[in-house]
Amino acid sequence: MNRFESVSRRRFLLTAGATAATSVLLKGCVGNPPETATNSQTSPAASPVISVKPGEEPEVKTVKLGYIPIVEAAPLIIAQEKGFFAKYGMSEVKVDKQANWGAARDNVKIGSGGGGIDGGQWQMPMPYLITEGLITDNTKIDMYVLCQLNTQGNGIALSNKHAGKNIGLKLDNQVALFNQLKASGTKFKAAYTFPKANQEFWIRYWLAAGGIDPDAEVELLTVPSSQTVADMKRGAMDAFSTGDPWPYRIVADKVGFLSALTAEIWKAHPEEYFALRKDWADKNPKATKAILKGIMEAQQWCDNFDNRKELAQILARREYFGVPEEVLFQPLMGKYDMGERTIDDKSMAVLYWKDSKGSVSYPYKSHDLWFLTESVRWGFLPKETLTTAKALIDRVNREDIWKEAAKEAGIAAADIPTSTSRGVEEFFDGIKFDPENPQAYLDSLKIKKA
């Protein structure tokens, strides 16, 4: 029996696609030495094990996917690195780092045919805004939301100048501080990586829950995550909301502290998503499912905490995030030095496949509705959006394709949600969002524009 035959089928499936040949080529390109196996999760040198069933052969082998260097991107990077895309016949996937969210948007607008991308990682509700032409100069590019990449793994970092002022998850008695900053001409500045999406929503939710009107008491601005540490160091901002490793890095570099993790604001909250251009997915339906199968397998790999050391090593590499492995590894293990307190709880870490509410990967339509409702709350979208939201979500959210791919990949029935709604959601301040009645949620909020 050779070394490959000695590997059990189950293990083979879990670790398939060491893609050593591909990895060596890839590393050769960036001048790194070939990687040696670091632990038992790295399978021996082998070509990807192709697992394409008859009738499921993808129409094409290639697709160009964009990502932003934050932990949300891990399933795309791991599907590539571990050969999970190749396993399902997508052997020539290109996973491309995007300079920022605006660049990702511009690249999906032109598509891979124009030198851009076919889809990739998105904050919400970007795929909806692109579909409606709202952030693409009125050019409507239909998108399909196909899976959620992750939950949690995001946080709100504060500048050290606010240390010791009791600014944490709950902004009890902080209204006076914000008023005073405004009165003295140094309005509290809060930044995020792209406007009108997740990171802006998290910081707005956190402020408003604490009685601070983000539109009146705070100056909100957009800053790419890679600039955050420098900007906070030179005092250009008071707070920053983004994905790991950036909030954590602010603490590691001693320029600030973390006031809240998004996992504290809303446990198992919806975070970032995988979406493709509709024209690409419609033309290549089997390839779309093959990509999804690769992502799902990567999500299971990423969710295994035994793999997180290796995950940190891979993501830290210069061609991906280019950051010290340590600032990635700690938060990946749920170990957060918040600066003024510590959290050591794996259930608070970024999760990719399962969380306390069930499936992470499945794209719940009820979550898309929350993002659209929150957009209405802050006046980003008109009130009428709520009337037409269901039809729009039914067009953009293709959870049906996720389910087909999950079944083809042999995902256990128990891990495939039976409802497109996760039901009533509850936030840290006791506010509830019932997807059956988004207006009641808006009515229950004290600070809002709508």
Residue numbers at the binding site for Ca ion (CB under 5 A) = 154, 243
In contact, 266 and 433? CB cutoff 8 Å? no
* Least distance to Ca ion, CB of residue 197, Å: 9
Q: In what order do the strands lie in the sheet with 239-243?
A: 218-222, 188-192, 239-243, 154-159, 256-261
Q: Name residue 386's amino acid.
A: L
Q: b vs e for 5-38, b when ≥16 Cβ sit within 10 Å of the residue's Cβ?
A: eebeeeebebbbbbbbebbeebeeeeeeeebeee
Q: Which CB sits closer to Ca ion, 275 or 287?
A: 275
The answer for residues whose C-beta is within 8 angstroms of residue 191's C-beta and 6 or more apart is: 220, 221, 222, 223, 228, 231, 237, 239, 240, 241
H-type alpha helices, 159-261: 175-183, 198-209, 214-217, 228-233, 246-252
> Based on CB atoms, which residue is closest to Ca ion, 48 or 153?
153
Q: Minimum Å distance from CB 262 to Ca ion?
A: 8
**Rounded least distance, CB 352 to Ca ion, Å:** 13
* Minimal distance, residue 280 CB to Ca ion, in Å: 24
Residue whose Cβ sits closest to Ca ion: 243
For Ca ion, give the closer residue by CB, 148 or 154: 154
- Closest distance of CB 244 from Ca ion, Å: 9
Cβ distance to Ca ion smaller for residue 69 or 83: 69
Which lies closer to Ca ion via its Cβ, residue 48 or residue 243? 243
Which two tokens mark 136? 């693409």
* Cα–Cα nearest to 260, from 315, 199, 309: 199
Amino acid present at 235: G
Pick 225 or 300: Cβ nearer Ca ion: 225
Report the Cα–Cα distance between both ends of the chain, in Å, rounded. 68
Closer CB to Ca ion, 66 or 243, in the complex:
243
C-beta separation of 68 from 121 below 8 A: yes
Segments in 275-398 forming alpha helices (H): 278-283, 285-303, 308-316, 325-332, 365-377, 385-396
3-state secondary structure of 274: strand
- Cβ atoms within 10 A of the Cβ of 440, count? 11
C-beta of 430: minimal distance to Ca ion in Å? Answer: 24
In the complex with Ca ion, the residue whose CB is nearer, 199 or 420, is 199
In whole angstroms, the minimum distance from the beta carbon of 397 to Ca ion comes to 19
Nearer to Ca ion, 118 or 272 (CB): 272
Nearer to Ca ion, 17 or 245 (CB): 245
Residues 220 and 193 sit within 8 Å (Cβ to Cβ): no
Of the candidates 329, 351, 120, 323, the residue with the CA atom closest to the CA atom of residue 225: 323
What is the full DSSP assignment across 207-226? HHHTT--HHHHEEEEE--GG
Q: Indicate the residue among 58 and 243 with the shorter CB distance to Ca ion.
A: 243
In angstroms, the CA 410 to CA 189 distance is 48
Please report where in the chains the tokens 């499945």 appear, as a residue. Answer: 362
Give the residue from 420, 405, 418, 366 showing the smallest Cα distance to 90. Answer: 405
Provide the minimum distance between the beta carbon of 307 and Ca ion in the complex, in angstroms, as a whole number. 21
Q: How many residues does the chain have?
A: 450
